[in-house]
Structure formats: structure tokens, C-alpha cells
Amino acid sequence: MKPNTQQLNDFSTQVRRDILRMVHAVNSGHPGGSLGCTEFFVALYQVLMERKEGFDMNGNGEDLFFLSNGHISP
């Protein structure tokens, strides 16, 4: 079941909190890129991409996503 708009907004808010906590915990990092891409990644991961619960390295039947811009990762 796909999440509704309010659930996506709530999840985005939580992701932003987590980003700030991670950057603050190590007293280093560039949170701007991560914060600016939050809605994009939440929509991608929660709505658009085919994925299974749990972790499985074979990726059969799932979409794969590779992020090469390291500066948007806290």
C-alpha cells in the first residue's frame, strides 16, 4: 500500500530530523544537500521504486538506485 500525502510529509519531516541529528552527532558534514533532496528521495523510495521489505543482495524484481553525489549524504 502506497503512503498518502500526509504520511509522506511526516516521513520527510522525520528524515530531516535524522539528517540534522547525524550531522550534529559527528560535528561535521554538509546538511544542505541532504535537506534539499529529502522530498525527492522520500517519493522515490516510498512511491516510485519497486522494492521489497528487508535486505536482499540479489535485487531480483526490485529497482536499483545508485547515488554518486557524496556531498548530499551526511
pLDDT tens-place string over residues 52-74: 777 777 778 888 888 887 777 77
Give residue limits of the domains in the chain. Answer: 5-69
**Banded pLDDT at 42 (limits 50, 70, 90):** very high
At residue 37, the pLDDT reads: 92
32, 38, 40, 41: CA torsion to nearest 10: 120
d(CA 59, CA 16): 27
Q: Give yes or no for a contact between 41 and 51, defined as CB atoms under 8 angstroms apart.
A: no
Asked whether the predicted pLDDT for residue 1 surpasses 90, the reply is no
